């Protein structure tokens, strides 16, 4: 009965919930770009105010980077910690956006209503589903549901440099029975899912320096070492002709999928043609002997996320550049140690750097993969609640992305996490014109109300 | 006697000549960047005014790009055409300049006085040496020396798209007995030289497109084709392990140096250790079985002048980009047809582009290499005049850079060119902090006065 009252309240107040999300979306909290530091602080303060209004004892906690937002409800029972992040990706290339990324709008599309803005899906819209569920719950019950801690980060899109130190320094305060993380999606945009396998992430930036200044390729071309040539040889060397990664020791410790999980994934009948077709592609580009679902969920990868050097403006400049750069990331699976792999990668690169060329490395995060223990009955309870809301059974799935926090919850706070989210494959997170379906937002809020009822 | 009067006049008026050069250097005539179009026109107008003041019948002649400056002296005798270019290279990275690139200054350095500005050496300082020689000549003699045509281009640093059509349309007007080109340097910064071998240039830009939008490397990494990976494989494939270029047919028609030229070059005792050491390098990076002088003067090359794709800003972004780009240039030698090589290059690239990836090509100029006929007695006369000015014999040398105009003078106007210039290896043309030695400027003016006396 009281759950129905909470759900009704959610339905009635969806316009006000959308307005609150818009207020948060208007703050350009791009964590990777120092120019937006004040905006990140503003987003944190906005969340502290909202949490305080809900009855949480909340504060923006300083770090060397952007602040953490932490709020406690107090209360009794199973202690749940909810995690989300209030920072967003950069918006470049800006000219591919149809409107200002920080001027949110509800738009009618052939597939339904969407909320269009940077961060609408990743992760402001998702984190607000939980806060709105708490708000409706409190309105109906007069109190928050059970014992909750809210933990919102502002550096998720920039390698989370402050996260581990902050969790270590505040481990006693943050330790709970189970974490809830809302930063994932529906399986194939329709099926509710709890993510129980997450890939880790290792980020590296390499800078190659050859001559001590940019040279005229007419005067020096042919005789002087060009660092772009060296860089392309290194990057091209990272995969063999079968799509396998060539860094020595890269696959050490990587295990095959258990047969039960393999069978479950086969039953999902993943439509990889649609998955790739939605973005203009058709051929899986990973290891030739792996299925597309393995490629994105359970196999490690290496991607070049950025490369630059020399003249990149309009027209032509016959320059032989002093430097060339690349940003390279590895998605890791259980069994791979990111720190060992970082050393192996750097050593591999060093063997390919010729005399007269220097290489410098800059690290951008290192987090291991994670696997959750689904024998905790909370998982089945949440799976049931999700199935009721969405009218079809929820599944345990993998996730190609890295949500380092899940691994840190295990290693630092000794608790597993339930990763539940409502994003869709076409949300264009990290791309221009990011959106979040109004359905995701609305049913997401309702889903959390049902899960809180089932767990509390 | 009258030559001595001209030389004396040059010595006396060097400050005024420097002021005139400064006025031209203050105009930021960057031809490759459309933002500076009006400045290119301003530089052309400045030169027209200066030529008119010297008695030339001069005009800025419109083209689809930047104007050509053409001036005629009229008069009798051997018809000489002087060529230079008034456009300059871009100035990025601007933060590596010690001062505003377009605020010229005479600076004292341990190696002597230099004129510091973008274009000081390439090519405004050099072209003004000829105009100043004409000015002093006219002051002493009351008339310009013989029959002269001045032909100044504004697109040399951006592939000269208007040059060939303009020369074809105005061939009768521009045809002369011999061309003089001032866009080269002293051999090893000290020895006067006439360049008689020039490499050609083929410029290409390639754009690879994979997915139809930027993707999240967590969601798609491993399964979706990354155009940066494809691009690095292509660029890395362009040279084999011995430094040879792998484009099919690339060396077809390339001949070995005649023994006499090889002997002359050996006699130059080129100090490649200093040449490379001056820019922080030590090992020649070209074909393993070639001398450094061959690498930069007589062998064809392939260089990547720019590469970019994905996220290149501060921090990290786990994007799998939709596109990747590279600007690639080839220096060509006699026997290589740039148009055939363009086709061969594009076909080579196409064979490496996988399904799901599209390649687009954009051309940035194509000019053949050139070799001059030094049996014309004018060459020996000029060589003698240069030797008198600099106190040591002048040499015939090669040039690694491409000065397409020399090839076009041969193919379109049927005349050879004498390439004489006074730049030094440390002029940092195309780099930050470009300079031109006051000695180069002063003795350059005097050199042209001597050459004009010897040829008229």
Within 10 Å of residue B109's Cβ, how many Cβ atoms? 11
Q: B416 phi and psi, to 5 degrees? A: -80, 170
CA A355 from centroid of its chain's CA atoms = 39
Q: Round to whole Å and give the CA distance between A268 and A274.
A: 14
Which residue in the set B31, B157, B316 is minimally distant from A158, CB to CB? B316
CA nearest to A214 within chain B: B431
Closest C-alpha to A235, from A247, A226, A223: A247
Q: Round to whole Å and give the CA distance between A321 and B400.
A: 17
Tokens, residue A359: 């290489």
The shortest C-alpha distance from B220 to chain A (Å) reads: 6
Instruction: Please answer yes or no on whether B90 and A429 come within 8 Å at the CB atom.
Output: no
Q: Round to whole Å and give the CA distance between B192 and B188.
A: 9
The residue behind tokens 């989210």 is: A421
Which residue in the set B92, B279, B295 is minimally distant from A222, CB to CB? B295
Which residue would you say has higher pLDDT here, A349 or B188?
A: A349
Residue percentage of chain B with pLDDT more than 70: 100
Q: Round to whole Å and give the CA distance between A59 and A69.
A: 6
Instruction: List the Cα angle B36/B37/B41 in 5-degree steps.
Output: 115
Which residue would you say has higher pLDDT here, B456 or A50?
A: A50
- The answer to whether the CB of A25 falls within 8 A of the CB of A120 is yes
Question: Which residues in chain A are contacts of B364 at CB distance < 8 A?
Answer: 315-316
Is residue A91 less than 8 Å (CB to CB) from chain B? no
Give, as one character, the DSSP assignment of residue A355: T
The residue behind tokens 């047969």 is: A259
Give the fold, CATH level 3, of A201-254+300-367.
Answer: Alpha-Beta Plaits (3.30.70)
* pLDDT for B240 beyond 90: yes
For the stretch B274-306, pLDDT in tens is 999 999 999 999 999 999 989 988 899 999 999
Q: A241 phi and psi, to 5 degrees? A: -70, -10
The shortest C-alpha distance from A454 to chain B (Å) reads: 30
- Kindly report the CATH number that applies to the domain delimited by B200-254+300-364: 3.30.70.360
Tokens, residue B326: 């590279």
Q: Round to whole Å and give the CA distance between B410 and A184.
A: 67
Tokens, residue B198: 């020039």
* pLDDT for B1 beyond 70: no
Question: Which residues in chain A are contacts of B312 at CB distance < 8 A?
Answer: 306-308, 325, 327
Question: Which residues in chain A are contacts of B356 at CB distance < 8 A?
Answer: 280-283, 285
Q: What is the DSSP string of A380-417?
A: HHHHHHHHHHHTS--EEEEESS--HHHHHHHHHH---E
Region B34-48 average pLDDT = 97
In this predicted structure, what is the pLDDT of residue B372?
87
The residue behind tokens 């597939």 is: A111
Give the fold, CATH level 3, of B2-199+369-455.
Answer: Aminopeptidase (3.40.630)
Which stretches of B226-337 are DSSP H helices? Answer: 227-236, 259-267, 272-277, 292-297
The shortest C-alpha distance from A197 to chain B (Å) reads: 13
Handedness of CA B26, B29, B35, B38 (dihedral sign): positive
Is residue A318 less than 8 Å (CB to CB) from chain B? yes
Q: B276 phi and psi, to 5 degrees? A: -80, -40
Is residue A241 less than 8 Å (CB to CB) from chain B? no
Instruction: Please answer yes or no on whether A213 and B356 come within 8 Å at the CB atom.
Output: no
User: Which are the contacts of B88, defined by CB distance < 8 A and separation ≥ 6?
Assistant: B28, B29, B30, B31, B118, B119, B122, B123, B124, B157
Q: Order of strands across the sheet with B435-437?
A: B105-109, B112-116, B435-437
For the stretch A384-433, pLDDT in tens is 999 999 999 888 888 877 777 888 899 899 999 999 999 998 999 999 99
For the stretch B115-169, pLDDT in tens is 999 999 999 999 999 999 999 999 999 999 999 999 999 999 998 999 999 999 9
In this predicted structure, what is the pLDDT of residue A393?
86
The shortest C-alpha distance from B6 to chain A (Å) reads: 34
The shortest C-alpha distance from B97 to chain A (Å) reads: 12
- The answer to whether the CB of B108 falls within 8 A of the CB of B437 is no
Q: Round to whole Å and give the CA distance between A254 and A300.
A: 8
Distances (CA, A) of B456 to A429, B173, B389, B449: 72, 20, 17, 10
CA A359 from centroid of its chain's CA atoms = 29
Query: Hey, do B2-199+369-455 and B200-254+300-364 end up sharing a CATH topology, with the first three levels equal?
Result: no
Is residue B351 less than 8 Å (CB to CB) from chain A? no
ipTM beyond 0.90? no
The secondary element (H helix, E strand) that includes residue B70 is strand B68-72
Question: Residue B205, SS3?
Answer: strand
- The answer to whether the CB of A273 falls within 8 A of the CB of A368 is no
| Helix and strand numbers, DSSP H then E, in chain B | 15, 18
Is residue A227 less than 8 Å (CB to CB) from chain B? no
Instruction: List the Cα angle B209/B214/B217 in 5-degree steps.
Output: 110
Cα distance between the two ends of chain B: 15
Question: Which residues in chain A are contacts of B287 at CB distance < 8 A?
Answer: 222
In this predicted structure, what is the pLDDT of residue A1?
52
Preceding omega of B93 cis (within 30 degrees of 0): yes
Closest C-alpha to A217, from B433, B341, B401: B401
In this predicted structure, what is the pLDDT of residue B170?
98
Question: Which residues in chain B are contacts of A201 at CB distance < 8 A?
Answer: 218, 318
Instruction: Please answer yes or no on whether B224 and A276 come within 8 Å at the CB atom.
Output: yes
Q: B197 phi and psi, to 5 degrees? A: -130, 130
Preceding omega of A93 cis (within 30 degrees of 0): yes
Across B363-376, b (16+ Cβ under 10 Å) vs e yields bbbbbbbbbbeeee
Q: What is the dihedral of CA B380, B382, B385, B389, to 10 degrees?
A: -120
Region B51-56 average pLDDT = 97
- pLDDT tens, chain A, 456 aa long: 589 999 999 999 999 999 999 999 999 999 999 999 999 999 999 999 999 999 999 999 999 999 999 999 999 889 999 999 999 999 998 999 999 999 999 999 999 999 999 999 999 999 999 999 999 999 999 999 999 999 999 999 998 999 999 999 999 999 999 999 999 999 888 899 999 888 889 999 999 999 999 998 878 888 899 999 999 999 999 999 999 999 999 999 998 987 877 877 888 888 999 999 999 999 999 999 999 989 988 899 999 999 999 999 988 888 999 999 999 999 999 889 999 999 999 999 999 999 999 999 999 988 888 888 888 999 999 999 999 999 998 888 888 777 778 888 998 999 999 999 999 989 999 999 999 999 999 999 999 999 999 998
The shortest C-alpha distance from A3 to chain B (Å) reads: 34
Domain boundaries, chain A: 2-199+369-455, 201-254+300-367
In this predicted structure, what is the pLDDT of residue A388?
96
Question: Residue A21, SS3?
Answer: helix
Q: Round to whole Å and give the CA distance between B400 and B437.
A: 21
Which stretches of A255-312 are DSSP H helices? Answer: 259-267, 272-277, 292-297
CB-based burial label for A403 (10 Å; 0-12, 13-18, 19+):
buried
For the stretch B368-427, pLDDT in tens is 888 888 889 999 999 999 999 999 988 888 887 777 788 889 989 999 999 999 999 899
Within 10 Å of residue A294's Cβ, how many Cβ atoms? 21
Tokens, residue B26: 């203050």
Is residue A404 less than 8 Å (CB to CB) from chain B? no
Q: A405 phi and psi, to 5 degrees? A: -55, -35
Q: What is the DSSP string of A133-189?
A: HHHHHHHHHSS-SSEEEEEEES-GGGT-TTHHHHHHHTHHHH--SEEEE---B-BTT
Question: Which residues in chain A are contacts of B157 at CB distance < 8 A?
Answer: 317
In terms of phi and psi (left: phi > 0; alpha: psi -120 to 50; beta: otherwise), the region of A47 is: alpha
Mutate to test the interface with B, among A36, A304, A330, A358 (most CBs of B within 10 A): A304
The secondary element (H helix, E strand) that includes residue A420 is strand A417-420
Q: Round to whole Å and give the CA distance between B318 and A89.
A: 9
Q: Round to whole Å and give the CA distance between B34 and B376.
A: 41
Instruction: List the Cα angle A200/A206/A208 in 5-degree steps.
Output: 165
Q: Round to whole Å and give the CA distance between B143 and A294.
A: 83
Instruction: Please answer yes or no on whether B232 and A228 come within 8 Å at the CB atom.
Output: no
């Amino acid at each position: 009965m009281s759950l129905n009252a909470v759900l009704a309240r959610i339905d009635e107040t969806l316009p006000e919930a959308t307005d609150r999300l818009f207020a948060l979306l208007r703050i350009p909290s791009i964590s990777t770009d120092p120019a937006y530091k004040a905006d990140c602080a503003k987003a944190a303060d906005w969340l502290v105010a909202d949490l305080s209004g809900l009855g949480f004892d909340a504060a923006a906690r300083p770090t060397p980077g952007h602040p953490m937002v932490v709020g406690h409800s107090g209360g009794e029972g199973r202690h749940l910690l909810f995690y989300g992040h209030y920072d967003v990706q950069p918006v470049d290339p800006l000219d591919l956006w149809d409107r200002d990324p920080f001027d949110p709008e509800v738009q009618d599309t052939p597939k339904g209503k969407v909320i269009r803005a940077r961060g609408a899906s990743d992760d402001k819209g998702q984190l607000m589903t939980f806060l709105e569920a708490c708000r409706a719950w409190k309105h109906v019950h007069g109190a928050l549901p059970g014992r909750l801690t809210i933990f919102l980060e502002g550096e998720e899109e920039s390698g989370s440099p402050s996260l581990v130190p902050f969790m270590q320094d505040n481990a006693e305060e943050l330790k709970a029975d189970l974490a809830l993380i809302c930063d994932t999606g529906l399986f194939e945009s329709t099926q509710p899912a709890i993510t129980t396998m997450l890939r880790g992430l290792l980020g590296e930036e390499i800078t190659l320096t050859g001559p001590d200044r940019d040279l005229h390729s007419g005067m020096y071309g042919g005789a002087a070492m060009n660092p772009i040539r060296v860089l392309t040889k290194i990057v091209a060397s990272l995969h063999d002709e079968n799509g396998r990664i060539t860094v020595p020791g890269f696959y050490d410790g990587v295990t095959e999928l258990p047969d039960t999980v393999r069978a479950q994934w086969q039953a999902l009948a993943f439509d990889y043609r649609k998955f790739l077709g939605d973005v203009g592609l058709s051929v899986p580009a990973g290891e030739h002997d792996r299925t597309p679902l393995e490629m994105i969920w359970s196999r490690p990868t290496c991607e070049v996320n950025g490369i630059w050097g020399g003249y990149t403006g309009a027209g032509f400049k016959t320059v032989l550049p002093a430097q060339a750069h690349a940003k390279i990331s590895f998605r890791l699976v259980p069994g791979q140690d990111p720190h060992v792999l970082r050393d192996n990668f750097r050593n591999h690169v060093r063997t390919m750097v010729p005399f007269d060329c220097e290489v410098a490395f800059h690290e951008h995060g290192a987090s291991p993969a994670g696997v959750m223990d689904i024998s905790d009955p909370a998982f089945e309870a949440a799976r049931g609640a999700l199935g009721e809301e969405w009218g079809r059974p929820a599944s345990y799935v993998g996730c190609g992305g890295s949500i380092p926090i899940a691994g840190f919850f295990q290693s630092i706070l000794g608790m597993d996490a339930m990763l539940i989210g409502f994003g869709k494959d076409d949300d264009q997170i990290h791309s221009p014109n990011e959106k979040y379906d109004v359905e995701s937002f609305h049913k997401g809020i309702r889903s959390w109300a049902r899960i809180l009822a089932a767990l509390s």
